[in-house]
Amino acid sequence: MVCDEVVHSRYNKRRHIKMMAEYDKTIPEEKRFCEASPWANFDIYINNEQVFDFFEPGGKYYLDMRRVTDQELKGDPEYVRDENGNYDLKEPCQVIKLEDGSEFSVPDRLADHIKKLTIRALVEDLGKETL
């Protein structure tokens, strides 16, 4: 997904993130996605100021989805919120540190994927700076 627009609310601290599918058919993964789902839009409103700067117009993002279980939705003890209100999925996690010094935990199963996205974003930024 490509972030098409970030709309800042003038009434409260909220952002409306508008994303759309964009394809480069020379990239095998994107070609497969385009063949399976040729059109997509994704809109989300966020209130968490800590992630406001994460979404940038023109930035590329993966949208990973998974089906949730009834246990998760009912607040089963295996899926409880921690002291910060985040879900603690009771699985091994890695801490990823950002350039600004902030850090966040991600499940081990997603860490490599997030690192690849970060590297891809850095390479794209470097390419822009050298033009």
Q: What pLDDT shows up at residue 90? A: 62
pLDDT in tens, the chain (131 residues): 889 999 988 878 889 999 998 888 788 877 887 787 778 899 999 988 888 889 999 998 887 777 877 766 666 555 555 666 665 556 667 777 777 777 767 777 677 766 666 666 655 665 554 43
Sign of CA dihedral 27, 57, 43, 84: positive
Specify the pTM.
0.50
Q: What pLDDT shows up at residue 131? A: 38
